[in-house]
Every structure is written in C-alpha cells, then in structure tokens.
C-alpha cells in the first residue's frame, strides 16, 4: 500500500516504513502527527484519487530529527566590470518516517 501526500508544500509518494526529508516542520523530534492532505491511495487492488484531497484518509508520521542539507555554492558574475559575488546556502529540513497509512 502506498499513498501520495502533500507536506511542506511538496508532494511525496510514501509507503509504510519509508523515510525521507521534507521542508522544515515545527514539530519536535520523536513527535508523531497525522497528515490529512492525502492526494491518492493505492492498496494493490483499488486506487482512490482525491479532488483535491481524500476524506477520512490519514497518514501517521514520526519526526526523526531536524538538520541542514549540504552547502550549495552560488556565484554571480558580470563580464568586463570586475563584478563577482560568491555566496552559499544550506537549506533546513526535517527527517520523517511513515508509521501507518489509514484508508
């Protein structure tokens, strides 16, 4: 059984026990919560598609921890005028694990 959920402004295809990173959430580490923005559920025999979300379906999620991704290096450059600007960025994320899909 797998589902497609919306979390942190992005869509993820998830199964029970899967782990992934999403945008930073406000929940503490080791907290559990339910995601009710479920777009689709497939149980192997029947596919349910929401318009836009499914009613009565939720996905239980456990927060593993928070962190920052690898640094991304950027460079701005303009030709002939000696302009160079070097910058870096590290995006915050939340690592989560799917505990259960209730359809």
pLDDT tens-place string over residues 22-45: 999 999 999 999 999 999 999 989
Contact 97, 66 (CB under 8 A): no
Q: Which domain holds residue 79?
A: 2-102
Indicate the number of domains in the chain: 1
Spatial separation of the C-alpha atoms in residues 21 and 70, rounded to whole Å: 13
**Alpha-carbon gap, residue 23 to 66, rounded angstroms:** 10
For the chain (103 residues), the mean pLDDT of every run of 10, in chain order, is: 94 96 95 96 94 94 97 97 97 97 90
pTM score of the predicted model: 0.83
| Backbone φ and ψ of 57, nearest 5° | -115, 135
CA distance 35 to 101: 10
b/e map 30-46, b = 16+ CB within 10 Å = eeeeebebbbbbbeeee
């Amino acid at each position: 059984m797998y589902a497609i959920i919306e979390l942190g402004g992005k869509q993820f295809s998830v199964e029970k026990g899967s782990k992934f990173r999403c945008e930073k959430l406000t929940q503490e580490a080791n907290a559990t919560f339910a995601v009710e923005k479920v777009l689709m559920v497939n149980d192997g025999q029947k596919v349910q598609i929401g318009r836009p979300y499914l009613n009565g379906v939720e996905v239980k999620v456990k927060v593993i921890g928070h962190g920052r991704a690898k640094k991304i290096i950027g460079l701005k450059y303009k030709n002939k005028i000696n302009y160079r600007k070097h910058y870096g960025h590290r995006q915050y994320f939340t690592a989560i694990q799917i505990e259960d899909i209730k359809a």
